[in-house]
Structure 1
Amino acid sequence: MTFLSAKTSVALPDPHAIVAAFHEHFAEYMTMTRDGEAVHFEADYGNGTFGAEDGRFAARINCVSENILLSVKAMVAEHIVEFSGDTSLDFRWEGDGAELRELPNLFSGRVVRAYNLTPKMRRVVIAIDEGIERLMSGGLHVRILILPDQARAPVWPHVSKTGAIVWAQGEDEQARRVYTIRSGDIKRGEINLDFVMHEGDDMPGAHFGATAAAGDIVGIVGPGGELPDAEDYVFAGDETALPVMLRMAAEMPAGKKLTVYAEIDNENERQEVSSKAQVTWNWLYRDGKAAGTAGLLQQSLRSHGWNGHEGLHVFVGCEKSEARIIKKMLGDEAGLPKTCLHTAGYWVRGANDDH
């Protein structure tokens, strides 16, 4: 496999503490190993090293694509600032994409139409100005940029010299939310985004989904996140994970085995399932209980007949604290290693956080 590579270093009062902070923070999401003063990470999209050298924090990363390299560089740059507490740091990247200032994975689009799939799931169809082929082939998830005022010209983000993404501020600031491209039509140049209609205030994603009108402009950054290759898949998630679970099932080839535990409010929230794989789809109904409180996903996964983890990939997407409980349970009780398990906290109960 061919990788794109980049490296940077920055003088810090305690670079060893920054290495430790990276290790602690990201050990929950990827495989990380200590080697003296350095920490190595391995992920399905690449690898890299964080180390302390001569009073400097150093990062070296290798990624499978330009978009992923850009995202990882931005993540590293933002966390260097966060962990050090110093917003004035000035450092540069060497290697692939070092001179990049415009986001190569930024797309603009306009709403074509919107309609309800179920009482609580609304679809927004967006026509992409250009680059629909790249948008539909590089991953499952995108970050949508919701304009504060459709009457104002958008101020799109760009890349700083440190590799961090610079977002518009003040009256031009855009709400940013991660969604799955549920499906797309390359010939028509359109993508479909599905929005769960949450109740509550300050939920720009749900508000956009509910009010999007033909002609509204939206920015899109991505895509990223692909389904790892395996033979046996187990998915579990609530409504927020339903779009990605349905898309992964739809794109899964024949010969694969898939078991899904999908928690929804009631039968009216069911959607049609399409797949060439051997699928066992289980709908779990909360019947009026609040999302994130029913415990149906945990019960179902505890009762699942686990037969080892060779050739297995497990995906869990739900409320953040519930996802953490399930992750611990699957590790402690089912003995599943991190390498075959991906959990995502798509929302936080009690917070103004939508998906």
Structure 2
Amino acid sequence: MSTRSPRSVVTFPIVLRKLTVLRVSDVTPGMRRVTLGGPQLHAFEHAGLSLPALRTEGFHDHVKFFFAEEGRKPVPPRQNVSSLDWPADGRPISKDYTPVRFDPVAGEVDFDFVRHDRGIAPSWAQQAAPGQVTWIAGPKMSHSHPEGADWLLVIGDETALPAIGRRLDEMPEGTRARVFIEVGEDSHRQDLRTRAEAEVTWLVRDGVPAGRSDPSRPIPMSWRARQTHPVPSGAGTLLLCRLLEWLPDEDAIPTLTEAAAAIAADGVVVLVGQVEAADPDDIDAVLHHLRLTAAFGSGLRSVKDVTALAERAGLTVRACRDVGRDHRLWVLAPTA
């Protein structure tokens, strides 16, 4: 399989910006939107440096928000010509978030935060009010929309919803996409704008904690693709998400075997799983990674391990690709 990326990349100088909260609103009961603004969204001078205006040109963009421990003020890094100078005595607390809307004329940029009672960033968003000051840095690069793709597969939970929403909004007209979004409650669904030929499926956990939904539940995707980029599809496709994270071999093999029996001879099973802790600074992610390590030895299964599991279930690995920063996608087909 070719390793050439179908997405072009443009890089930017990393600029630290001091911004002000302009508005706070709830997109849904599960998502809070914070709108930031200020002169430093535009080009500005600082400490003898001429720094460029904010640029964000792709759905995969992210900026760092800087936070402080309770009772302290945030200490952001210092600005260099095109990068940041991090303190030698410890990095400030930072979290990555996707700009969901940027209006350079109005001087506004929106960020969405999942509402829950844990985590320094959601806690900040919960108490954010107009007039408060915050610091962001980035984006440092933007990726273009994939070129040459016959159709796109987009998968994520509410933490990925800001990027998914922006991606759908920016998809060129005529793009074909299948989109699967998991949310905690039915009221957390959003009206997502798009010009694309996108079919969006909402998966509601109904009170089940995030990351604990049934990993063995197959999702039918009966949709034929004209080409094979990045995921081939035969007469039928089953999507299995996060199967390998939570199931030991003795449970994963029967599930894969059932999936193999459910598809046509020219069908495929698309398997998506997290392969490492998504955010090393997030204590929940670290504990999750430790649980994976305890279960599987390394915190993830190797290509060799998954190939062996697939073979025991009557499947052959047709393709394997790392997607995003912490997930892996497998395409499994019935053994001839």
Q: Which amino acid aligns with 1:323?
A: Q
Q: Out of 110, 118, 125, which is 1:192 matched to? A: 110
Structure 2 equivalent of residue 207 of structure 1:
123
- Hey, what's the Cα distance between the residues in 2 that align with 1:108 and 1:295? 43
Partner of 2:199: 280
2:94 aligned to which of 172, 176, 182: 176
Unpaired segments of 5 or more residues in structure 1? 1-29, 32-41, 47-63, 68-102, 347-355
Distance in 2 (CA, whole Å) between partners of 1:146 and 1:238 is 24
Match in the other structure for 2:228: 310
Distance 2:24 2:231 in 1: 34
Identity %: 23
Confirm whether residue 342 of structure 1 aligns to residue 312 of structure 2.
no
Deviation at 1:264, TM superposition (A): 0.6
Distance 1:199 1:104, change over 3 A: closer
CA distance, structure 2, for counterparts of residue 144 and residue 299 of structure 1: 36
- Show the counterpart of 2:35: 125
> What TM-score comes out, normalization by structure 2 length?
0.60
Amino acid corresponding to residue 248 of structure 1 in structure 2: R
Q: CA deviation at 1:286?
A: 0.6
What per-residue deviation string (whole Å, max 9, x for no partner) do you get for residues 241-279 of structure 1? 111001000000101101100001121001111100001
Structure 1 residues 293 and 154, CA, compared in 2 at 3 Å: closer, same or farther?
closer
Counterparts of 1:190 and 1:249, CA distance in 2: 20
Aligned to 2:22: 112
Is the 8 Å Cα contact of residues 179 and 193 (structure 1) preserved in structure 2?
yes
What are structure 2's unaligned runs of at least 5 residues?
43-52, 233-239, 246-272, 276-299, 328-336
Number of the residue aligned with 1:134: 54
Structure 1 residue 120, shift from structure 2 partner: 1.6
Is residue 238–residue 318 contact of structure 1 (8 Å, CA) maintained in 2?
no
CA distance in 1, matches of 2:244, 2:83: 26
Contact 1:182/1:194 (8 A) holds in 2: yes
Residue pair 1:317, 1:343 contacting (<8 A) in 2 also: no
Using the TM superposition, give the Cα deviation of residue 225 of structure 1 relative to its aligned residue in structure 2, in angstroms. 4.5
Answer yes or no: is the 8 Å Cα contact 2:150–2:227 preserved in 1: no
CA distance in 1, matches of 2:226, 2:215: 23
1:175-197 C-alpha deviation (Å, 9 max, x unpaired): 20011111122211111100012
C-alpha RMSD of the superposition: 4.2
Q: Do the aligned partners of 2:14 and 2:83 also contact (CA within 8 Å) in 1?
A: no
Residue 183 of structure 1 aligns with an amino acid whose one-letter code is R
- Of 183, 190, 204, 1:264 maps to 183
